[in-house]
Amino acid sequence: MIVRRVELYEVGRMLGQGNFAKVYHARNLKTGQSVAIKVLNKDMVMKFGMAEQIKREISVMRLVRHPNIVHLYEVMASKTKIYFVMEYVKGGELFDKVSLGRLKEDLARKYFQQLMDAIDLCHSRGVYHRDLKPENLLLDENGNLKVTDFGLSALTESRKSDGLLHTTCGTPAYVAPEVIRKKGYDGAKADIWSCGVILYVLLAGYLPFRDKNLIEMYRKIAKADFKCPQWFPVDAKRLLYRILDPNPITRVTIPRIMESRWFQKGYEHNALSHLPPLSPRWGGDDCSSDVEAAFAFTYSSSSSFSYSGEDDEEVVVPMKLYRFNAFDIIALSSGFDLSGLFEKDNSQKQHAMFITRMPPAVIASKLEEIGQMDNSFKVMRNNGVVRLEKRNTKGTSQLSIDTEIFQVTDSFHVVEINKVLGDSLEYTTFLEHHLKPFLDEIVLAWQGCHNHQ
């Protein structure tokens, strides 16, 4: 049975179902305003170690309040569910408009100006989007751009001791060269590169880095090997060459972009003054209350949260927050290790992968059975990763293996197996003579190890 009411919101049709949530159209009963409500199953979030990820998403969305970013109005919770009440944007994706062909210069400039305003605000708050592309840019009924999908975003505190981010993520054609290099990258500079690719697409109607062979496409990205069509304005060309600079150190910054002649034409800075008010339930701009309340909520009959006909169907939460894309598949494959595009010496990672039709819960349970069969192995689950750790008589780890599950499609999953610690021969022996035979019944195909099946 579908949720009919959540607090002040009358909930209607389901707008879509993602990897770990369902999204419904809803209406505020007091104001009549349309909103979108994302519903997450709290037990599944906790079971699969996604709590910190969800907390970060809440924190990020409350930090980046801007007219050109999809608004998170409030977060509510029951004993079993977490509810994100968000702005309902009904104009569709910018991708749909671009797919029909290139945009007129003035319209492309307008969207790019709004994108820069939004991303500038994000960076000033220490937030890096990391998956900017036309599919993640929505249009409202007035034709204004709205940035959405902060599922891969990172905060300043995510940086390692070198001051850089190290998670390889993004969408192939939009990812910056330094992200592929896997040596660490500045999140702001990587976002700027993606914005440059978006600008090119808006003006050209196609991507700057195109090749049927994905490896060749990444070579072009690494060298910034692209050409501007003859119809591009001279000032736009100059700006693009400064943005799509393969060297992040010399790549142009957002303030410099905003000072450029092409950008300045008709530019009106999008101020924060016309944002809708925050819900008083959470006490103004303090996002910490949202974050903690979502997970600390305990059901009681006197709770201010009321429900009528709550959805009885469990929201299935896979092991990863995002679907596998071509970039992820290439990055995981030892046969297509992209670091080889930049380095002569490239030591092969000791890992294997297999494809399966089984859902994440079944895969994880199967992996955990190995630990139950062999007492020398300890099994741990953390943030979507199942670790198998074998200890010696002294209690110290002598072999540590991480297994991570990724969704390719609704019916296919890829499982990556990596040796984290231990002797290579022992790892290979365990993989070939224990792990592979044990998983045989759920595996469709292996890759990255000896004796492929």
Q: Is the pLDDT assigned to residue 109 strictly greater than 90? A: yes
Q: Which residues of 135-150 are buried (b: 16+ CB within 10 A; e: fewer)?
A: bbbbbbeeebbbbbbb
Q: Is the pLDDT assigned to residue 347 strictly greater than 60? A: no
The residue among 264, 293, 325 that closes a domain is: 264
Residues 12 and 121 in one domain: no
What's residue 115's pLDDT? 97
Residues 150 and 245 in one domain: yes
The residue among 232, 264, 296 that closes a domain is: 264
pLDDT, one tens digit per residue, over 402-448 is: 888 876 666 677 888 888 787 777 888 888 888 888 888 888 888 65
Output the domain CATH number for residue 360: 3.30.310.80
Short-list 350, 326, 353, 330, CA closest to 341: 330
Could you tell me whether strands 377-382 and 385-391 are parallel, antiparallel, or unpaired per DSSP bridges?
Answer: antiparallel
The residue among 55, 88, 121 that closes a domain is: 88
Residue 384 lies in a domain: yes
Residues 196 and 233 in one domain: yes
81 to each of 1, 85, 291, 295, 348, how far by Cα in Å? 15, 13, 14, 9, 43
Residue 295 lies in a domain: no
Question: Token pair of 45, please?
Answer: 């979030």
Residue 277 lies in a domain: no
CA gap 83, 22 in Å, rounded: 10
What is the arithmetic mean of pLDDT over 355-376?
78
Residues 146 and 229 in one domain: yes
Residues 259 and 372 in one domain: no
Residues 189 and 243 in one domain: yes
Output the domain CATH number for residue 229: 1.10.510.10
Number of domains into which the chain is organized: 3
Q: Is the pLDDT assigned to residue 151 strictly greater than 90? A: no
Residue 113 lies in a domain: yes
Confidence of residue 175 (pLDDT cuts 50, 70, 90): very high
Residues 78 and 222 in one domain: no
Residue 328 lies in a domain: no
The count of residues in the chain is 453
Choice among 53-57, 105-109, 176-180 with the minimum mean pLDDT:
53-57
CA gap 14, 22 in Å, rounded: 7
Question: Residue 267 class from Cβ within 10 Å (0-12 exposed, 13-18 middle, 19+ buried)?
Answer: middle
Residues 372 and 240 in one domain: no
Contact partners, residue 47, CB within 8 Å, separation at least 6: 317
What's residue 409's pLDDT? 62
Q: Is the pLDDT assigned to residue 253 strictly greater than 50? A: yes
pLDDT above 70: percentage of residues in the chain: 74
- Higher confidence at residue 75 or residue 318? 75
- What are the residue numbers of the active site? 131
What's residue 257's pLDDT? 97
Residues β-bridged to residue 414: 355, 406
Residues 248 and 133 in one domain: yes
Residues 386 and 442 in one domain: yes
CA gap 108, 235 in Å, rounded: 14
pLDDT, one tens digit per residue, over 296-331 is: 543 332 233 333 334 433 332 222 323 444 444 444
Mean confidence (pLDDT) of the chain = 78
Residue 432 lies in a domain: yes
Residues 141 and 34 in one domain: no
Residue 283 lies in a domain: no
Q: Provide the domain limits for residue 19.
A: 1-88
Q: Where are the alpha helices (DSSP H) in 268-350?
A: 288-296, 326-332
∠ CA 194-345-325, rounded to 5°? 35
47 is in an annotated binding site: yes
Q: Is the pLDDT assigned to residue 196 strictly greater than 50? A: yes
Q: Is the pLDDT assigned to residue 344 strictly greater than 80? A: no
Confidence of residue 348 (pLDDT cuts 50, 70, 90): very low
∠ CA 408-412-415, rounded to 5°? 75
- Higher confidence at residue 340 or residue 80? 80
Q: Is the pLDDT assigned to residue 287 strictly greater than 90? A: no
Does the predicted model carry a pTM greater than 0.85? no
Residue 289 lies in a domain: no
Residues 158 and 180 in one domain: yes
Output the domain CATH number for residue 56: 3.30.200.20
Q: Is the pLDDT assigned to residue 281 strictly greater than 80? A: no
